[in-house]
C-alpha cells in the first residue's frame, strides 16, 4: 500500500472544530488523528465534474481533503442532473466548476477549492497536475484518459481511474511506481465511434455514484496509507446484474511510457493518437444545419433523410419523413441509396452519423452525403421547439 504521499511538513494538528466534524473518522484506528491530519494536508485533483466527478468531489470534501482542484470547461445542462448530483436545477447554464465549488464549500467550508475552468490539454496538464498528490480521473473520453495517464506517469503521481457506460463501470488505481498504468491495460484506444459516449449510449443515473464513491475510497486510502488499493487490479461492476468481478493487472514491460524502455517522454497529440483527426486520405464530411435542411425541405428538394439511431432512441423523438437504417446496417444496405439524390444522415448530436457517412464512402458510394450538424437535438432547438431535446 502506498505510504508517504503527504510530506510530514504539510501535516498539522486538527482544531477542536475539525475533531468534531471528523469524529467518525477519528474513531477508526485505520484513519485516526494521524490519517485525518493527512487528509487535511492532501491535495487532490479531480478531472471532470460530471457523473464521476460529482460523488468524488462531494465525498472527498466531506472526508476533509484539504485542497480539491477541479478541472472542467463545460456548463451545466438539464440532462446532467439525472446523475451529476453536485449540480442543481438552478445551476443550469453555469460553469460546472463554479457550481461544484459552491456545493463543495456549502458542504465543507474548510476545503480549499481551486478551479480550472479549462480543457485539460497537452499544453497545460503537467503544470496543473504537478502540484497535487493524487489525481482522480472522472473523464468520459479516451483522449483525456490517455493524457491524464501519461501526465501522471511522467510526474510520478497515482491516477485513480473510473469509467462508466450504460449499466457497467470500471475502477482501478494506475500508479507506475508500484504497478501498471492505463496504457498497460489499454495500449491503444478503440477505433473512433466503436464505443459511444454516455451522451449517445446512455447511463443509469446511480452508476456514476457507485463508481465515483469507489474512486473516492481509493483516494482516501492512498492518502492515509493502509488497506488494499486497486493498484494492479481492475474492478468491474454490472449494475443491472448487481455483480462485481475483478481482473488482475500486470505491469507491461513493453509499455511505451512505464515499461523497461519507455519511448514516450513527453505529452503527445492525444486527439491524433485516438484517431479523432481526419487523415489526409479521408474524404471530407459535408454538413448541413437544421435550418438549412428545413429550407431545402420547404423548397421541395428531393432528399434521402436517413435516421441511423436505434429503435429505442427513435421512440424518444421521431424525425419527420426520415428512413430508419441503424448505423450497423448502413454499409450492407448501400443498394437502398440513390446516388442521384442528396442523402442527409442524422443521429442525436451529429457524431454517430459521421461514421455512417464514412461507412458508405468506404464501400465506394459516390452520391452526395451530408451530416445534420448537431443532429436531432439541433432540429428540436432551431426548427421545431415542440420536440424534446435529450
Q: What is the mean pLDDT of the chain?
A: 94
Rounded CA separation 256/239 (Å): 34
Last residue of a domain, one of 249, 273, 297: 273
Looking at the structure, tell me whether residues 255 and 294 fall in a common domain: no
Closest residue by Cα to residue 68 from 43, 48, 86: 43
pLDDT category of residue 71 using cuts at 50, 70 and 90: very high
The reported pLDDT for the residue numbered 230 is 98
Looking at the structure, tell me whether residues 50 and 81 fall in a common domain: yes
Q: Is the pLDDT of residue 320 over 60?
A: yes
Backbone angles phi, psi at 154, to 5 degrees: -65, -30
Q: Which residues are catalytic?
A: 198, 347
Residue 112 lies in a domain: yes
Rounded CA separation 148/136 (Å): 9
Residue 203 lies in a domain: yes
Looking at the structure, tell me whether residues 245 and 300 fall in a common domain: no
The reported pLDDT for the residue numbered 252 is 95
Percent of the chain with pLDDT over 70: 98
Average pLDDT for 147-153? 98
Q: Which domain holds residue 291?
A: 286-382
pLDDT category of residue 236 using cuts at 50, 70 and 90: very high
pLDDT category of residue 342 using cuts at 50, 70 and 90: very high
Q: Is the pLDDT of residue 193 over 70?
A: no
The reported pLDDT for the residue numbered 276 is 76
Cell reading at 156? 510520478
Last residue of a domain, one of 218, 247, 273: 273
Looking at the structure, tell me whether residues 164 and 28 fall in a common domain: yes
Backbone angles phi, psi at 95, to 5 degrees: -60, 140
Question: What is the model's pTM?
Answer: 0.85
Residue 351 lies in a domain: yes
Residue 267 lies in a domain: yes
Looking at the structure, tell me whether residues 60 and 209 fall in a common domain: yes
Q: Is the pLDDT of residue 279 over 70?
A: no
The reported pLDDT for the residue numbered 283 is 75
Closest residue by Cα to residue 134 from 173, 104, 91, 181: 173
Looking at the structure, tell me whether residues 260 and 371 fall in a common domain: no
The reported pLDDT for the residue numbered 113 is 98
Residue 390 lies in a domain: no
Looking at the structure, tell me whether residues 266 and 307 fall in a common domain: no
Looking at the structure, tell me whether residues 174 and 51 fall in a common domain: yes
Residue 163 lies in a domain: yes
Looking at the structure, tell me whether residues 155 and 266 fall in a common domain: yes
Residue 3 lies in a domain: no
Classify burial at 279, counting beta carbons within 10 Å of its beta carbon; exposed 0-12, middle 13-18, buried 19 or more. Answer: exposed
Last residue of a domain, one of 273, 306, 336: 273
CATH number at residue 264: 3.40.50.720
Looking at the structure, tell me whether residues 111 and 164 fall in a common domain: yes
Closest residue by Cα to residue 266 from 155, 179, 181: 155
pLDDT category of residue 278 using cuts at 50, 70 and 90: low
Classify burial at 20, counting beta carbons within 10 Å of its beta carbon; exposed 0-12, middle 13-18, buried 19 or more. Answer: exposed
Looking at the structure, tell me whether residues 137 and 269 fall in a common domain: yes
Q: Is the pLDDT of residue 65 over 80?
A: yes
The reported pLDDT for the residue numbered 66 is 97
Q: Is the pLDDT of residue 280 over 80?
A: no
Produce one character per residue of 89-102: b if its CB has 16 or more CB atoms within 10 Å, e if not.
eebeeebbbbbbbb
pLDDT category of residue 190 using cuts at 50, 70 and 90: confident
Looking at the structure, tell me whether residues 299 and 199 fall in a common domain: no
Question: Domain total for the chain?
Answer: 2
Residue 388 lies in a domain: no
Average pLDDT for 306-310? 95
The reported pLDDT for the residue numbered 231 is 97
Inter-residue contact 110 to 18 (CB < 8 Å): yes
Span 165-181, pLDDT tens digits = 999 999 999 999 999 99
The reported pLDDT for the residue numbered 200 is 80
CATH number at residue 305: 3.40.250.10
Integer-rounded Cα Rg, in Å, for the chain is 24
HSE, CB side, 13 Å, CA atoms: give it for residue 164: 29
Rounded CA separation 32/22 (Å): 9
Average pLDDT for 73-85? 96
Amino acid at each position: 500500500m502506498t505510504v508517504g504521499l503527504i510530506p510530514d511538513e504539510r501535516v498539522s494538528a486538527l482544531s477542536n472544530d475539525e475533531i468534531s466534524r471528523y469524529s467518525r473518522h477519528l474513531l477508526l484506528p485505520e484513519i485516526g488523528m494521524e490519517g485525518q491530519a493527512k487528509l487535511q494536508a492532501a491535495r487532490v485533483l479531480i478531472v471532470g465534474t460530471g457523473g464521476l466527478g460529482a460523488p468524488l468531489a462531494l465525498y472527498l470534501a466531506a472526508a476533509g481533503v484539504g485542497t480539491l482542484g477541479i478541472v472542467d470547461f463545460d456548463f451545466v445542462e438539464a440532462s446532467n442532473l439525472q446523475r451529476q448530483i453536485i449540480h442543481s436545477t438552478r445551476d443550469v447554464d453555469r460553469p460546472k466548476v463554479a457550481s461544484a465549488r459552491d456545493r463543495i464549500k456549502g458542504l465543507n467550508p474548510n476545503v480549499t477549492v481551486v478551479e480550472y475552468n479549462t480543457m485539460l490539454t497537452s499544453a497545460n496538464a503537467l503544470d496543473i497536475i504537478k502540484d497535487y498528490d493524487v489525481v482522480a480521473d472522472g473523464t468520459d473520453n479516451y483522449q483525456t484518459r490517455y493524457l491524464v495517464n501519461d501526465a501522471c506517469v511522467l510526474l510520478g503521481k497515482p491516477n485513480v481511474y473510473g469509467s462508466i457506460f450504460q449499466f457497467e463501470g470500471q475502477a482501478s488505481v494506475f500508479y507506475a511506481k508500484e504497478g501498471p498504468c492505463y496504457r498497460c491495460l489499454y495500449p491503444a484506444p478503440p477505433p473512433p465511434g466503436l464505443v459511444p459516449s454516455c451522451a449517445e449510449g446512455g447511463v443509469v443515473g446511480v452508476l456514476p455514484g457507485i463508481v465515483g464513491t469507489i474512486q473516492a475510497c481509493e483516494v482516501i486510502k492512498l492518502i492515509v496509507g493502509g488497506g488494499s488499493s486497486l493498484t494492479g487490479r481492475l474492478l468491474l461492476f454490472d449494475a443491472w446484474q448487481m455483480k462485481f468481478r475483478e481482473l488482475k493487472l500486470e505491469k507491461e514491460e513493453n509499455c511505451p511510457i512505464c515499461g523497461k524502455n519507455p519511448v514516450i517522454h513527453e505529452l503527445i497529440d492525444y486527439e491524433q493518437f485516438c484517431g479523432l483527426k481526419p487523415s489526409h486520405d479521408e474524404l471530407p464530411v459535408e454538413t448541413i444545419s437544421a435550418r438549412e435542411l428545413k429550407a431545402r425541405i420547404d423548397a421541395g428538394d428531393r432528399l434521402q433523410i436517413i435516421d441511423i439511431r436505434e429503435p429505442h432512441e427513435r421512440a424518444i423523438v421521431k424525425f419527420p419523413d426520415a428512413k430508419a437504417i441503424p448505423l450497423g446496417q448502413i454499409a450492407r444496405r448501400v443498394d437502398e441509396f440513390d446516388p442521384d439524390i442528396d442523402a442527409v444522415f442524422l443521429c442525436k448530436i451529429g457524431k454517430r452519423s459521421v461514421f455512417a457517412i464514412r461507412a458508405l464512402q468506404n464501400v465506394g458510394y459516390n452520391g452526395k452525403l451530408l451530416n445534420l450538424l448537431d443532429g436531432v437535438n439541433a432540429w428540436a432547438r432551431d426548427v421545431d421547439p415542440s420536440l424534446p431535446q435529450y
